[in-house]
């Protein structure tokens, strides 16, 4: 069980705090469009803040409107623009206590992972949040999530990119959206969340604390990375078709511990051929909890023997982003393998053999 090591009482904070709110659209900023009879982003950053209870106490909120985007339309260049905006805001206001990014829930895990890798050692919280119901609806979860995100950005002793949602604080590289309609849309995929929000901000051990490190802004990414889910009947030729389309990396979601078919429709041969042509293959697990361990079963070992790398316990979202981030820097095979197995921003918490012997 995690040990509580921080109880931050925002109400007793004597020094004023400054937080920058970057809006990018999403459900939290959506309005009803009578022409399409559907929701679309359209609420300004000012209107979004006006949906909150009046008065922010001793927190100054600086406003930045970046996109009005449904997150289903988010593309890799939007991650680059967001990371660049964070860099520019840091240079303009180095005294910020933290940054909040309002974002659609559909691809929030991808964007949070991308910012985690592209903006490291920021020293303060970068907090993503959003809503399941537009902020203008009386029973919306948006105002609560936004207030919680501002609290964490202003007063939380944390120096990570995270997602604050439904009273929980999740690491940006360890989180998935698991529920479409429920207020608790997100869960941390082992270990537990970084903290929870109640009367106080309660943070757990294992997080990175606020610091004065010099931020690293490494805003490069290689878009030519594919995410492929294995299913019964998958034709192995699809890997070579993906390669023909110019993709340089493929994350394959295997069954269970990263297992792939080894008899009918075996894909190890296609993996070996793709690797020999300079494509980098990473095997993750389709399971929400647990890890890819290519040493456990024969059907996993053949993937490793064909040249695939294990994602270990990285989520598929984090593995995809990490591979794209690495290939933006190098395509030297040994370096790529070393970097994929290196924990940069808490994306890996399990490395090594399962130790299973059949006993």
Distance CA(153)–CA(285), nearest Å, equals 32
Alpha carbon of 269 to those of 225, 244, 297: distances in Å?
Answer: 20, 16, 18
Q: Which of 23, 24, 27, 161 is catalytic?
A: 27
Confirm if 42 and 23 have CB atoms less than 8 A apart.
Answer: no
Distance CA 350, CA 341 (A): 10
Give the pairing type, strands 280-285 and 168-171: unpaired
H/E segment holding residue 226: strand 225-229
Is residue 141 part of the annotated active site? The answer reads: no
For residue 33, the cross-strand partners are: 38
The residue from 23, 24, 70, 105 that is catalytic is 105
Q: Which of 118, 224, 101, 214 is nearest to 173 (CA)?
A: 118
Give yes or no: 54 in active site: no
Cis before 302? omega within 30: no
Instruction: Select which of 176, 177, 208, 322 is catalytic.
Output: 177
**What is the chain's alpha carbon radius of gyration, rounded to the nearest angstrom?**
21
- Catalytic annotation, pick one of 23, 24, 106, 129: 106
Please check whether residue 277 is in contact with residue 297, taking contact to mean a CB–CB distance below 8 angstroms. Answer: no
Catalytic residue at 330? no
Q: Is 105 a catalytic residue?
A: yes
List residues with catalytic annotation: 27, 105-106, 177
């Amino acid at each position: 069980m995690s040990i509580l090591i921080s109880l931050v009482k925002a109400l007793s904070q004597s020094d004023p705090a400054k937080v920058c709110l970057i809006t990018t659209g999403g459900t939290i900023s959506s309005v009803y469009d009578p022409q399409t009879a559907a929701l679309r982003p359209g609420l300004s950053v000012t209107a979004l803040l006006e949906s909150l209870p009046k008065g922010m106490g001793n927190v100054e909120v600086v406003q930045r409107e970046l996109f009005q985007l449904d997150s289903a339309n988010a593309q890799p260049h939007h991650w680059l623009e967001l990371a660049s905006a964070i860099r520019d805001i840091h240079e303009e206001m180095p005294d910020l206590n933290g940054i909040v990014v309002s974002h659609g829930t559909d691809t929030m895990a991808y964007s949070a992972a991308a910012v985690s890798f592209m903006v490291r050692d920021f020293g303060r919280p970068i907090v993503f949040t959003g809503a399941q119901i537009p902020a203008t609806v009386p029973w919306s979860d948006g105002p609560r999530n936004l207030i919680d995100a501002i609290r964490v950005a202003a007063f939380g002793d944390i120096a990570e990119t995270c997602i604050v949602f439904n009273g929980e604080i999740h690491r940006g590289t360890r989180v998935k959206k698991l529920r479409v309609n429920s207020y608790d849309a997100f869960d941390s995929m082992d270990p537990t969340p970084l903290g929870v929000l109640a009367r106080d901000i309660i943070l757990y051990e294992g997080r990175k604390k606020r610091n004065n490190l010099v931020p690293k802004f490494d805003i490069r990414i290689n878009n030519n990375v594919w995410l492929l889910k294995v299913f019964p009947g998958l034709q192995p030729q699809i890997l070579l078709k993906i390669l023909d389309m110019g993709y340089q990396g493929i994350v394959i979601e295997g069954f269970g511990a990263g297992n792939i078919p080894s008899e009918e429709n075996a894909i190890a041969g296609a993996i070996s051929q793709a690797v020999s042509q300079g494509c980098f293959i990473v095997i993750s697990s389709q399971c929400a909890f647990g890890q890819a361990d290519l040493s456990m079963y024969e059907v996993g070992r053949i993937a490793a023997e064909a040249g695939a790398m294990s994602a270990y316990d990285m989520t598929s979202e984090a593995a995809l982003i990490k591979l794209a981030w690495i290939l933006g820097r190098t395509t030297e095979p040994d370096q790529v393998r070393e970097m994929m197995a290196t924990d940069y921003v808490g994306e890996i918490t399990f490395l090594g053999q399962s130790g299973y012997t059949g006993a």
